[in-house]
Amino acid sequence: MGTATGLYHRSYAEVLALRQTRAEYARLALLGIALAVAPFVLPPVWLRVACQAGIAAIGAIGLNILTGYTGQISLGQGGFLAVGAYTSAIVVTRMDLPTPVGIVAGIALAALVGAFFGLPALRLKGLYLAIATLASQEIVLWVVRNWSAVTGGASSLLVPAPRVLGFPLRSDFAWYWVIVACGAAAALAATNLFRTGIGRAFVAIRDQDIAAQAIGVDIVRYKVLAFAVSSGFVGLAGALTAHYTRTVQWEQFTLDVSVLYVAMIIVGGLGSVAGSIYGAVFMLVLPAGIQQLGTALRDDFPIITEKLPALQHAAFGLVIMLFLIFEPRGLARCWQRVKDYARLWPFRY
């Protein structure tokens, strides 16, 4: 492997390149092949999980931009998801516009609402900001529940299946490709964001906001921008959820969902785009896996069926705690260690 003695860059372009070694290109190719083959081999249940995980990954990348890279804690993702989902659904059903227009509108409005609820971040940080975003979540959901004329209130909003080239997009198989394409675009956009000055300003604010201000980072602008960009990604995830599930209901966007998203980026790894994806996949595969296991064991242990939701919940809480205690930098760090081990083998370091 070419990396064993280190990397020798000869130009700035090489330093900034996304992939630098042949091994990295090989892994990317393998990932591409795996993604392309997956829908043909996965059983229907897991294909559905894959679609959900892909949508969640987009939202998790958005949240990671805000929390992992900019250091602003948000417990309000559910609210921003709701904004994206409802906007897109309403634009498509009430105004009869094509689905892509709805999705773009969802992204735009989610970014706007996100920027607005990011305003408290100008004065608050840490715990206080977490509580402020928690409040924003409750307020957004209350508006959704009570503004029946527009959102349908407590009842759900039905969305028609979008049409691609005249064919309705309905099956998980078809959706898989759309979601993978959106996910790849989101991952690329987020990775590139952190190769620019804006991304570096975000990281500076996370590391020490007062120091960042002292060296000329416009904190007001970049904090609001971080909220807007992050909520834009989350809005995309929300809009995709709306069209994928074809129903929008306020129960899809409760505080539990916000917590789930924070759990994803913690399990995956704060401040890592790839980590957001690992985390999203992990947090969706975990309950589905327990579900499958429970179904398999149903005949031997009949009691397990009724205890299943509680077991899923317990596993969820336990995973968060164990990761924070034993691997606070998440799956991204675990994977990094595996790669280091392979690269340095047979030496330890």
Q: How far is the CB of 280 from another protein (least distance, A)?
A: 16
Q: How far is the CB of 153 from another protein (least distance, A)?
A: 10
Please identify, using beta-carbon distances, which residue of 98 and 309 lies nearer to another protein. 309
What are the b/e assignments for 38-76, b being 16+ CB within 10 Å? ebeebeeebbbbbbbbbbbbbbbbbbbbbbbbbbbbbbb
Please identify, using beta-carbon distances, which residue of 13 and 303 lies nearer to another protein. 303
Please identify, using beta-carbon distances, which residue of 139 and 185 lies nearer to another protein. 139
Q: Which of 147, 163, 169 is nearest to 90 (CA)?
A: 147
Q: How far is the CB of 131 from another protein (least distance, A)?
A: 5
First to last CA, the chain: 15
Q: Which residues contact 265 (CB under 8 A, 6 or more apart)?
A: 60, 63, 64, 67, 68, 275, 276, 279, 330
Q: How far is the CB of 84 from another protein (least distance, A)?
A: 21
**Which residue is listed with tokens 């609402």?**
113
Q: How far is the CB of 140 from another protein (least distance, A)?
A: 10
**One-character DSSP codes across 265-297:** HHHH-TT-HHHHHHHHHHHHHHHHHHHHHHHHT
Under the rule (CB under 8 A), what is the footprint of another protein?
Answer: 67, 71, 73, 119-120, 123-128, 130-132, 134-136, 138-139, 142, 145-146, 208, 210-211, 214, 255, 259, 262-263, 266, 270, 307, 309-314, 316-321, 324-325, 328
**Which residue is listed with tokens 């599930």?**
245
Please identify, using beta-carbon distances, which residue of 145 and 333 lies nearer to another protein. 145
Please identify, using beta-carbon distances, which residue of 97 and 319 lies nearer to another protein. 319
